[in-house]
Amino acid sequence: MNDNERTGSLPQRIFENSIVLIIIVVVWLFVPLYTKNLFLPSLFSILESFRDLALNGELWLDIVYSLRIVFAGLLIAASVAVVLGMLLGRFARLERYLDPTLQIMRNTPVLAILPVFILFLGIGDSSKIAIVIWATFFPTLLNTIQGAKNVDANLIRSAQSMGISSGGLFFKVILPAASPFILAGFRLSAGVAMIVIVAAEMVGAQHGLGFMIFNYQHSYQTSRMYVGILTLAIIGVFLNFGLVKLEKHLTRWQEKTQ
Amino acid sequence: MAADTNVVEISTAGLGLVYRKRQSARRGGDIYFPALKEVDLEVGKGEFLSLVGPSGCGKSTFLYILAGLHKQTSGAAYIGGEEITGPSLNRGIIMQAYALFPWRTIQKNVEFGLEVKGVPKPERQRIAREYIELVGLQEFADHFPYELSGGMKQRIAIARALAYDPDVLLMDEPFAAVDEQTRGFLHEELLRIWERTQKTIIFVTHSIDEAVLLSDRVAVMTPSPGTIRKIVDIPLPRPRTNALVNTEEFRKARNKVWQLLQTAGTATKEVKKEDGRVVLDTVLQEEVVF
Ligand SMILES: Nc1ncnc2c1ncn2[C@@H]1O[C@H](COP(=O)(O)OP(=O)(O)O)[C@@H](O)[C@H]1O
Ligand SMILES: [Mg+2]
């Protein structure tokens, strides 16, 4: 973005950012009233369904159910990935041992593993947490390895010259130096988590937004199906927005490149 | 202004380091590269000694050994009479690239060594403030390094090294990356700090002017593998300022160092040893006698 584009006045920016969305909303509100296609109901009836599902509590239950698994899986995966990534990034020997295995695991399509988890863990929470852990592990892991490898050797030398212990070096130098990579990886992981949880709930579940979409599609209650889809879109946008904000705050010490 | 240069602070005896570059047997096996050879040096307590020499002659390598970051392959180095076996807070190293921790504020950077040392928080905050003030940057205490100019960063790096009160400062081309004008200012600043804190300083530079202006003695190194060719006394009066560079005495001292640097180029050449190792060795091209 160059300076000219950035100096647009606030009302102009709001207009530029919202006009396309507004057109889509208007089209979606009115065009289906004429096409009368069951598969694409008007936003009016979707909003009605949204109100119904919100009032009878079903929507909130499904949201909580899905997000609980997403966060549990993400947190477990990220903690392990950060620790392992730091070690793999700093100890080339360890990486040589584990890299082939990790490459195979990472390149196996996530959903191909799902049936295995279901066999072992059933269709309850545990198989879903397991698949979220599996899927979200790799983006954070790979970024952490990258970050830990790229630490400026001068910073390490400088800390070592002050007699820092190897534990201190990890926590006070390598971890903070790698943190921009780690946070970017975590944001990728969060995106993957949302994809995977929906897919997993479609395959086998009794609750959750993925199940809800799948279920209403089967019973042709399409406006309720769209409620699920739009809810996921909104959650995705907020999640990403929050993580970007967090990332910006935690890496505010970096020179802004623009 | 050597505090007591009769007391030896740093000494090295037959110090040498051969780097080993690992290489597969197919490509001829490991290569041994002698970076430093037979360095014998004594630096007095409170002395300011500069080390000059062509780039790649092993100046940084020498400082890293003194800092305890690299291990020599022959000889020994001592600080305060004790053999150097690893890093310790009685030495501070200051590098050309500043090496400030970008995620820490200036205040927190200067506290780093004290933190490692286990100094309680209120005390290390006080000490850090004191040294930030010493280098005149108190209004930047809460800034991050990226917000400072190169010269300011180097002043903070100096404050960080001084804060844990080492006996010796090892400075590796600290002002090479700052502009001319700032460098002049930093020279006077460093001299002021040195006179005030009475540290022993080994200062690596490839600027002859800088070496002569700052030092009690200038050690001139040979090209790789580096050893000390000669040590030149700089008997210029102190305290010194940048104005000194226009004096005849300065020019004389400067010329002496310059001539030493011009002499007897040596080059390296790969030599195959009896046991099959490939070793880079020195070939003396000409020898100029003083
Ligand atoms: N870790 C290393 N492994 C192999 N060779 C090295 C290593 N570090 C430095 N060298 C080589 O040793 C020589 C001396 O390096 P250095 O001490 O950095 O020189 P200076 O600081 O005088 O420019 C150079 O030729 C350099 O390429
Ligand atoms: Mg160097």
User: What is the number of the ligand closest to the CA of B20?
Assistant: 1
* pLDDT confidence of residue B288: 33
User: What is the number of the ligand closest to the CA of B55?
Assistant: 1
- Is pLDDT at B207 greater than 50 in this prediction? yes
Of B80, B166, B158, whose CA–CA distance to B116 is shortest?
B166
Alpha helix (H) residue ranges in B78-203 = 106-117, 121-134, 150-163, 180-197
| Tens-digit pLDDT profile for residues A126-135 | 999 999 999 9
* pLDDT confidence of residue B274: 57
- Is pLDDT at B290 greater than 50 in this prediction? no
pLDDT band at B135 (very low <50, low <70, confident <90, very high): very high
Ligand 2 centroid vs B234 CA: distance in angstroms? 23
B55 lines ligand 1 (CB under 6 A): yes
Is the CB of A248 inside 8 Å of chain B's CB atoms? no
Q: Could you check whether the bond before residue B225 is cis, i.e. omega within 30 degrees of 0?
A: yes
Q: Does this model's pTM top 0.90?
A: no
Residue nearest to atom 26 of ligand 1 (CA): B56
What average pLDDT does the segment B14-29 reach?
A: 89
Is the CB of A253 inside 8 Å of chain B's CB atoms? yes
CA atoms of B147 and B28, how far apart (whole Å): 48
Ligand 1 centroid vs B69 CA: distance in angstroms? 14
Percent of chain A with pLDDT over 90: 89
Are B202 and B63 contacting, i.e. CB atoms less than 8 angstroms apart? yes
Q: What is the mean pLDDT of chain B?
A: 88
- Is pLDDT at B264 greater than 60 in this prediction? no
Residue nearest to atom 12 of ligand 1 (CA): B35
Are B255 and B6 contacting, i.e. CB atoms less than 8 angstroms apart? no
DSSP reduced 3-state for A26: helix
Q: Do A161 and B115 touch (CB under 8 A)?
A: no
pLDDT band at A7 (very low <50, low <70, confident <90, very high): low
pLDDT band at A256 (very low <50, low <70, confident <90, very high): confident
Q: Which chain B residue has the Cα nearest residue A153?
A: B99
Integer CA distances (angstroms), B196 to B165, B175, B192, B234, B240, in order? 13, 20, 6, 20, 14
Are B85 and B68 contacting, i.e. CB atoms less than 8 angstroms apart? yes
Structure-block tokens of residue B173: 């081309």
CA angle B70, B100, B140 (to 5 degrees): 155
